[in-house]
Amino acid sequence: MSETGEHIDRTPMDTARHLVNELLAHRVREAVLAPGSRSGPLALALHAADRQGLLRLHVRVDEREAAFLALGLAKRAHVAVPVVTTSGTAVANLHPALLEAHHAGVPLMAVTADRPARLRGTGANQTTEQRRIFGPVGFVTGIDELCVHWPRRAPVHLNVEFDEPLLTPTNWDFAPAHEPIDPTAAMAQIDATSADSRAAVQLEQGPSTVVVAGDDAGPDARILARDSGWPLLAEPSSGARNDDALISYRLVLEHASLAHQIQRVVSFGHATLSRPVTGLLGRADIDIIHVGTQMNLAVPAASNIRFASAVSAEPADPDALEWLDTWQRADRAVTEAVDDLRSRDDANPWDVAATISAAMPPAGLLVVGSSNPIRDLDLVARPYSSGQRRYVMANRGLSGIDGTVSTAIGAALSRTHSRALAFLGDLTFLHGSNGLLIGPGEPRPDLTIVVATDDGGSIFAGLEQGAPAYADGFERVFGTPTGTDIGALCRAYDIAHRRVHPPELERALATPAGGIEVLEVPIDRSGRRAYAQRIADAARTALVQIGM
């Protein structure tokens, strides 16, 4: 056996066949490849499997974008997707997507080709220490060891050492060697093991309770809130912002006395979007039950925080319904105030998010970039009917802007039966523009990418950095204008592009061009900080008027 765990008499081509058989045995039907020399056997094996209709191969020349493409495919389909690279710096370029997958619980699989172990620690070309390069990401030393990772909602790294000769004549006859693990049964076993210290919790009515649904919380948060009669504070990418979820919960939390009356919080998913919510989760004077682990809780666990595998509660009683009604009245008052303010100013930056949210058809897909787009959507998006829910997705594991274009393309490729949109800021789009570098024969989805273009990082205007005291350096070190011609950039990638102003966006979204299209929507960021203050003032005034 070599250090990879592969039999030393197995040729690189045999090893590649063995890997593809393992992928097929576990229902892997998508794979992403960033080509290179050392990974040649894997490239040819995946190409052969693609030609035989056994899986669909996506080829990219940029390893970072390849990894985020695989992330989007895996996150939307909830199945493992491998991204395959050669050795050296190619491996390091996978790191951002692997970290996002680790923190978001996405089954992304990195398969990296390597030189033989005897060359490690020498000056051999493209040779470095690739083993365990991704820190907390699970690492295996052989293909057969992948079996323990298949059912997990987590990324894994397989490093395969190939000696020369790399390529030999081969007949690509694929035959999965064993029946795949039943993912449902395997996950049930894993959940039962990991839940030893996270028992299911049954709650009584009594304490004034709210339900927080962070990223990827799922429908359990909505069901608990509905059945118990508790207010639901759901982020756009929670999968729970349906039916009676509050719209302006962020502003109510920040400006209403109601926030001080909360005695208990039940938390689902990874809530990182707003400071009022993370502040609520960080309170030490209330009871907090989090369905999950410390891994997806945004604050360090204190003595008042319990982790649970599931939460149920007694049915709503009159006190709970009165509590819920109070929150709903506050939410209606603030939402009406925000809507009124928006209606009196056509230049407000939130209308783009509202238009996109309203344009989503039932079963549609919306991938939202970090920074302002997800926060703008959070402020204005109306809850969808649970019977006609839309899938809103974001990279909230580490909340980075990198790779979002490729993530959106991957997610759209895995959801071909419905409309797919992406909503990004210009810096997020430019940072990931190489995701548009797609070969002419590669699969392409129908995806409309809306880019809110304000020539810079407008999110910082609403943070401490945007205060007048730092105005002298703001534009250069936070605003970071680029002056990029997005239309010219799209033409270079042979991507359809239209520049539309906010009032024209609704009509543009109703007439998609097909394939990948970019709708550039220019907005002004110069007054965003002042406008946010006007929103806060309007919310406070509305709450005072109703006695809150």
The full set of domain ranges for the chain reads: 12-163+184-189, 198-323, 348-523
Share of the chain above pLDDT 90, in %: 82
Contacts of 307 (CB under 8 A, 6+ apart): 197, 198, 289, 290, 291, 292, 293, 294, 297, 301
- Place 361 in a pLDDT band, splitting at 50, 70 and 90: very high
12-163+184-189 against 348-523: fold identical: yes
Reading the block at residue 461, the tokens are 């205007």
Nearest-angstrom CA–CA distance, 197 and 191 = 11
* Rounded Cα–Cα distance for residues 90 and 36 (Å): 9
Query: CA 237, CA 273: separation in Å to the nearest integer?
Result: 10
> Tokens for 354?
């509202």
Backbone dihedral angles phi then psi of residue 337, each to the nearest 5 degrees: -65, -40
Q: Which residues pair with 384 in a beta bridge?
A: 242
Q: What is the CATH number of domain 12-163+184-189?
A: 3.40.50.970
With beta carbons less than 8 A apart as the criterion, state whether 205 and 316 touch: yes
Residue 15 burial (CB < 10 Å; 0-12/13-18/19+)? buried
In this predicted structure, what is the pLDDT of residue 346?
Answer: 74
Closest CA to 299 of 277, 281, 312: 281
Residue 183 confidence (pLDDT) above 90: no
**pLDDT band at 451, cuts 50/70/90?**
very high
Q: Percent of the chain scored above 70 by pLDDT?
A: 95
Residue 418 confidence class, pLDDT cut points 50, 70, 90: confident
What CA–CA distance (Å, rounded) separates 356 from 374? 12
Cα 93 to the chain's mean position, in Å? 18
Contact present, 339 and 345 (Cβ < 8 Å): no
User: Which has more pLDDT, 348 or 454?
Assistant: 454
Q: What is the dihedral of CA 507, 512, 513, 518, to 10 degrees?
A: 80
Residue 376 identity (one-letter amino acid): D
pLDDT in tens, 10-24: 899 999 999 999 999
**Domain spanning 198-323: CATH 3.40.50.1220:** yes
Q: Which pLDDT score is estimated for 349? A: 82
Predicted local distance difference test score (pLDDT) of residue 190: 47
Residue 207 CA to its chain's centroid (Å): 33
Cα angle 254, 258, 260 (rounded to 5 degrees) comes to 80
Per-chain mean pLDDT for the chain: 92
- The pLDDT confidence band at residue 9, using thresholds 50, 70 and 90, is low
pLDDT at 1: 40
Name the one residue in this structure whose structure tokens are 């302006």.
248
First to last CA, the chain: 70
Give residue 317's identity as a one-letter amino acid code. D
Q: How far apart are CA 207 and CA 209, in angstroms?
A: 6
| Entry field: residues in the chain | 548
For the segment 75-113, what is each residue's pLDDT rounded down to a tens digit? Answer: 998 999 999 999 999 999 999 999 999 999 999 999 999
* DSSP three-state, residue 532: helix
Q: Identify the three-state secondary structure at position 40.
A: helix
CA distance 523 to 452: 7
| CATH topology assigned to domain 348-523 | Rossmann fold (3.40.50)
Task: Report yes or no: 337 and 365 within 8 Å, Cβ to Cβ.
Answer: no
